[in-house]
Amino acid sequence: MTVRNEIDVELWEAIQKNYDAENYTGAILDAIFKLTDTIRNKTGLEGDGASLIGQAFGGDDPRIKLNKLQTDSEKDIQKGIQDILRGIYTGIRNPRSHDSMSDDKLSTDAIIVFINYLLRLIDQSKLRFNEEDFLERIFDQYYVKSKEYSDLLVKEIPKRQRANIAIQTILQRDKGDIYALGYFLESLLSQLDSVELSRVYKVVSEELRITTNYVDIRYLLHICPGKHWGSIDEAVRIRTEAILFEDFSKGSYNKTTEQCENYGALATWISEEHLSHFGQLEKWTRKAIEMLNSENANVVSYIDEYFWWKICHVNRSNITPPLKYYFKKGLEDNDEQVISKLKSQICWVEDHPWWDVFKDELKKSIPISKYEEFPF
């Protein structure tokens, strides 16, 4: 018997180096490692040995089902293969890993062919978690837009498959509701490690790299949490921020129709969290103030409606020079509009850092009676 002709190509590639070198014990261990890796990849589990087999094949609702598990015979097959797999680890792998053993070709061929049989059974089996079926639930028109529901769904995803589910959700985003996907990815991405996040944001970067489609930018901006904005490729990030800034700079909002006019709608999808991770915050702040001072009421309304609170919040801990000057000048000039805007930011927050920033101007520029209206 030529073992190469008796087993599948993937298993042969896994054992070939040691087998051709006549390191038969090493070839057996390679085959079992291939078996382990196959089970892990199929289930998303991280375990090893008998523990991995129990998690994958055991219980009333196993992750890997070799059949429908309806008749006693089907249940016996499931349990029997589970026991055989446990034996592969305890009776074949472990002694060879811990003690010095030397296997001959005949024994090695028999073991490897049998492992190939087990791999075929696993390949033909059904999974409790099916990626295609799961994605349909993400794109469901009745998806419950809440953190609680999203967290429950994420718990169902095997750990090893989480990054791939995130990637497929992003690539197939046009199938789902933008708000639902936002909730889902917020929950899912919080469970990924740095390597997995890097994989996901590599895909996001490619999706944004050359697009000029506002719908794509809007979707990706909303469904990818702002706190991970820095994970996007730097060149892509700079380009996307430039597109957003251009739209923002031309923004106007009609209070009567309650709609943006011609430009500005795309930029409204920028969250405070995104803005805090954008480069050139001072540039965004300066432009917002410039627009706030516009003679066009719709431009002023655009800033008031969508950006003023965001701009102030991201400037809270370390206020940029344009905003600092805007408030200082307004206080010195006793500008009621500026004073009102400052009060709306700090008057209910006793420890707001701007109390200290504008302490002198507040006392000098605002009459005592008015200053005393501030709660603190």
pLDDT in tens, 161-193: 899 999 999 999 999 999 999 999 999 999 999
User: In this predicted structure, what is the pLDDT of residue 287?
Assistant: 97
User: In this predicted structure, what is the pLDDT of residue 42?
Assistant: 84
What contacts 8, CB < 8 A, 6 or more positions away?
A: 116, 119, 120
Q: Is the dihedral of CA 257, 261, 265, 268 positive or negative?
A: negative
**Alpha-helical runs (H) found in 94-177:** 94-98, 105-124, 131-138, 147-155, 162-171
Compute φ and ψ for 81, nearest 5 degrees.
Answer: -65, -35
For residue 331, CA distances in Å to 88, 168, 267, 338, 348 come to: 79, 52, 30, 7, 19
Q: How far apart are CA 268 and CA 305, in angstroms?
A: 9
Half-sphere exposure (CA, 13 Å, Cβ side) for 82?
21
Contact between 118 and 88 (Cβ < 8 Å)? yes
**Which SS3 state, helix, strand or coil, does residue 203 take?**
helix
Q: How far apart are CA 225 and CA 11, in angstroms?
A: 41
Task: State pLDDT tens for residues 267-277.
Answer: 999 999 999 99
Q: Residue with structure tokens 């992003």?
A: 170
Q: Is the dihedral of CA 104, 105, 109, 112 positive or negative?
A: positive
Amino acid at 131: E
- Say whether pLDDT at 370 is over 90: no
Task: State pLDDT tens for residues 205-250.
Answer: 999 999 999 999 999 999 999 999 999 999 999 999 999 999 999 9
Predicted TM-score (pTM) of this structure: 0.72
Confidence of residue 373 (pLDDT cuts 50, 70, 90): low
Compute φ and ψ for 118, nearest 5 degrees.
Answer: -65, -40
The stretch 88-109 carries a mean pLDDT of: 92
